[in-house]
């Protein structure tokens, strides 16, 4: 039976998926009608996002299955692997579009209807703003790495559409000035600028995804947060943290704290371990989605 969180996540992603389908279809039609490389890049980027999102809706139930001996990390790495594939696809598309638009510029550029593109992008920005605030509102109830990625996509759509609209409005007013020769390069030039803007997030997420797949420790800010919470929890107990192991993969986080006694005692009380586990889990529950905390004695080799 599906949990409330699983149902909520599915509902959020389905709404985002449906709206993305509508906007992508409109972008494809507009790119053909307006013969704009900038609009085409938007359409291709959003279409790739849709292609990746469809299969993931089927995979969501796997992410809520409990860990077991056969799958000690559950299916959390399915999400990490999916996000790696997704962002590698987006990165590849950005690079291809960058090269194609550079080729167009070197070939002399091409003319487009700047006013029509500006109006279309303004309408697109309004639709994206509505969806962005809707997703932001829904994510307050529940947010996963995938929902976070969706919110990022809508945010980039807003910034991209506003930037493109401003550029083509400026291009429209340049039509009867001495700067008219540069209008042929505006469409591909804006597409290249969009490429440079969009490339940062896929690169960052790919690095993060590969770190999670390799089970490397999370970023320093996450480690510092965990260390501080563990340190505060141990203040009332006669133990020291010999080693803290933190593993993040997908939406799951495992924290293992290895304890050793102080000069006052070399005994570790099992009841204390359970109390510490509860305190740390309670202090970190708002910072992580699916959190697993364990306290263990630091046994000598």
Q: Can you tell me the mean pLDDT for 182-194?
A: 77
Q: Domain coordinates of the chain in residue numbers?
A: 4-213, 220-297
CA gap 123, 162 in Å, rounded: 10
Residue 2 has pLDDT above 60, yes or no: no
CA gap 63, 56 in Å, rounded: 10
Q: Which residue has the tokens 């987006």?
A: 90
Q: Which residue has the tokens 């630091």?
A: 298
Q: Can you tell me the mean pLDDT for 50-56?
A: 69
Q: Can you tell me the mean pLDDT for 290-297?
A: 86
**Closest by alpha carbon to 88, among 199, 223, 182?**
199
For domain 220-297, give its CATH number from 3.30.470.20, 3.30.70.1350, 3.30.70.100, 3.30.70.920.
3.30.70.1350
Let me know if domain 4-213 sits in CATH 1.20.1280.50: no
Q: Can you tell me the mean pLDDT for 17-30?
A: 85
- Angle, helices 37-59 vs 114-139, to 10°: value is 20
Residue 1 has pLDDT above 50, yes or no: no
**Closest by alpha carbon to 20, among 114, 118, 135?**
135
CA gap 295, 256 in Å, rounded: 6
CA gap 40, 121 in Å, rounded: 12
Q: Report in angstroms the alpha-carbon separations of 288 from 20, 224, 249, 293, 301.
A: 28, 14, 11, 11, 32
Could you tell me how many residues make up the chain?
301
Q: Report in angstroms the alpha-carbon separations of 95 from 108, 118, 162, 194, 202.
A: 20, 24, 22, 11, 11
Predicted pLDDT at 55: 67
Predicted pLDDT at 160: 76
pLDDT digits (tens, 9 = 90+) for 110-161: 777 778 888 888 998 898 899 889 888 877 766 666 677 778 778 878 877 8
Domains 4-213 and 220-297 share a fold: no
Predicted pLDDT at 277: 92
Predicted pLDDT at 263: 65
Tell me which of 248 and 172 has the higher pLDDT. Answer: 248
Burial grade of 163 (CB within 10 A; 0-12, 13-18, 19 or more): middle
pLDDT digits (tens, 9 = 90+) for 69-111: 676 666 667 777 777 888 888 888 888 888 888 888 888 777 7
What are the respective helix, strand and coil percentages of the chain, to the nearest 5? Answer: 70, 10, 20
Predicted pLDDT at 249: 77
Predicted pLDDT at 296: 87
Give me the percent of the chain exceeding a pLDDT of 70: 83
Predicted pLDDT at 54: 67
Report, in angstroms and rounded to the nearest whole number, the Rg of the chain calculated over CA atoms.
25
Reduce the DSSP state of residue 292 to 3 states and report it. Answer: strand
Reduce the DSSP state of residue 153 to 3 states and report it. Answer: helix
Model confidence band, residue 227 (pLDDT cutoffs 50, 70, 90):
very high
Predicted pLDDT at 229: 92
Q: For the chain, what is the mean pLDDT?
A: 80
């Amino acid at each position: 039976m599906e949990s409330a969180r699983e149902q909520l996540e599915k509902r959020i992603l389905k709404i985002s998926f449906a709206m993305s389908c509508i906007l992508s279809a409109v972008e494809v039609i507009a790119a053909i009608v307006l013969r704009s490389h900038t609009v085409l890049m938007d359409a291709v980027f959003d279409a790739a996002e849709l292609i990746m999102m469809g299969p993931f809706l089927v995979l969501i139930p796997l992410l809520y299955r409990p860990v077991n001996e056969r799958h000690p990390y559950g299916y959390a790495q399915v999400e990490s692997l999916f996000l790696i594939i997704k962002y590698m696809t987006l990165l590849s598309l950005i690079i291809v579009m960058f090269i194609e638009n550079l080729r167009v510029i070197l070939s002399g550029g091409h003319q487009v209807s700047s006013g029509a593109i500006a109006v279309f992008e303004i309408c697109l920005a309004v639709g994206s703003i509505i969806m962005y605030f809707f997703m932001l509102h829904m994510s307050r109830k529940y947010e996963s790495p995938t929902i976070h990625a969706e919110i990022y996509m809508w945010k980039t759509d807003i910034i991209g559409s506003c930037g493109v609209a401003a550029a083509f409005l400026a291009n429209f007013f340049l039509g009867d000035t001495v700067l008219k020769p540069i209008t042929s390069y505006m469409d591909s030039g804006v597409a290249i600028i969009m490429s440079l803007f969009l490339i940062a997030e896929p690169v960052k997420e790919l690095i993060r995804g590969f770190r999670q797949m390799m089970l490397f420790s999370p970023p320093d800010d996450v480690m510092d947060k965990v260390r501080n919470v563990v340190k505060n929890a141990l203040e009332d107990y006669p133990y020291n943290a010999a080693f803290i192991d933190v593993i993040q993969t997908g939406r799951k986080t495992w924290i293992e704290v290895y304890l050793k006694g102080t000069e006052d005692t070399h005994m570790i009380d099992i009841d204390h371990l359970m109390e510490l586990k509860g305190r740390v889990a309670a202090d970190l529950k708002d910072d992580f989605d699916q959190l697993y905390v364990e306290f263990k004695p630091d046994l000598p080799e």
